[in-house]
Amino acid sequence: MNDGVLVLGANGFAGNAISSQLAAGGRRVLAYGRSSQVPRNVVAIQGSIEDATLLRSAIRDCSHIVHAASLTTPGTSALDPSLEVVGNLLPLARLLECAEEFPDKRLVYLSSGGAVYGDAANGANESTPVRPRSYYGAGKVAAEAMIHACTATTTWTACVLRPSNLYGPGQHTARGFAIVPTLFERALDGRQFHIWGDGSTVRDYCYIDDLVEAVQLVLAGDPLPCFAVCNVASGETASILDLVAACERTSGRSVAVSFSPARDVDVPRVVLDVSAIRELGWRARVDLESGLRLTWEWFVASHSRTSVGAEDRRP
């Protein structure tokens, strides 16, 4: 039976949410990642994409592939661009090598709406030239180009989704990344939240369930062109300082901030045009206030479980 959905990077924030909600909706999901911990009713495939035998076995058993795997953040590859090649592009190439052997697969690739457009990100649509200002964004652009080449030379088809800043339950803090859980962590521990620049940079914040709905739409909807690209964004924007204030209201706690000079990689405003995916019937359903509340509730519960676990491990 080859009607399953293979999710690569299933142990990450987006991959885990996609796997869980696809399975809850009745899809047969194969979760490929480095951990065997997967959501309920999901088949775990533990391993690396570099394992050609394991990867081919997984692809054979599916009709769709969701690529949500990434080993980098904008911060981790800033001083070492080779991480984008070794950690992300090489594994992607291993996947695309399978296209001739396993024809007619549909690939959904999670790119980045916040990183690929660079200075043209304000009002960017899918036809806007991509001019990334970070190696992370450049890696996403290179990945998209590789996937386009694959669809031009094989029977695979692909849809690239470019989400704005994702947040929601299940997202953990990472250095220079995942701003919402980082703000909530600072609300709990009282440490300073560091801001590059004056806090006026504006971003769109997309709740994770809305991204999952976009993935489900692409998987279940009418066939798209051989290669398609869609921005995914909520349409609700906030400056960094606005987001700090919103997280303070949600948590009922103050967040101390500090400032440093702005970075070259940051653009003033990232606001994406989502007309293309709206034409497919998608709409963002979760507003920022509701999304922050749901995320805070999960964050507090998760922090409480971690604290209890630490207490239990004390000698």
Does residue 210 contact residue 253 with C-beta atoms inside 8 Å?
Answer: no
* pLDDT per residue as tens digits for the range 16-61: 999 999 999 999 999 998 887 787 789 999 988 888 899 999 999 8
Return the top range by mean pLDDT from 48-52, 264-268, 287-291.
Answer: 287-291
pLDDT at 314: 46
Confidence band, pLDDT 50/70/90 cuts, at residue 310 = very low
Question: d(Cα 219, Cα 191) in Å, to the nearest integer?
Answer: 42
pLDDT at 2: 67
pLDDT at 220: 86
pLDDT: is 314 or 226 the higher one? 226
Beta strands in 164-232 (DSSP E): 165-167, 193-196, 202-207, 227-232
* pLDDT per residue as tens digits for the range 134-151: 999 999 999 999 999 999
pLDDT at 123: 96
pLDDT at 263: 85
Confidence band, pLDDT 50/70/90 cuts, at residue 307 = low
Q: Flag the least confident range among 195-204, 220-229, 245-254.
A: 220-229
Domain 70-313 has CATH 3.90.550.10: no
pLDDT at 3: 80
Q: Flag the least confident range among 17-21, 92-96, 160-164, 173-177.
A: 173-177
Question: d(Cα 145, Cα 154) in Å, to the nearest integer?
Answer: 14
Confidence band, pLDDT 50/70/90 cuts, at residue 175 = confident
Does residue 232 contact residue 110 with C-beta atoms inside 8 Å?
Answer: no
Confidence band, pLDDT 50/70/90 cuts, at residue 229 = very high
As a whole-number percent, the residues of the chain with pLDDT over 90 amount to 81
Average pLDDT over residues 255-269: 91
Average pLDDT over residues 256-260: 95
Residue 297 CB coordination number (10 Å): 12
- Domain spans in the chain, listed from the N-terminal domain onward: 70-313
pTM, entire model = 0.93
* pLDDT per residue as tens digits for the range 161-170: 999 999 999 9
Confidence band, pLDDT 50/70/90 cuts, at residue 94 = very high
Compute CA 69 distance to the chain's CA centroid, rounded to the nearest angstrom.
9
Average pLDDT over residues 255-278: 93
Measured in Å, how far apart are the chain's first and last C-alpha atoms?
Answer: 50
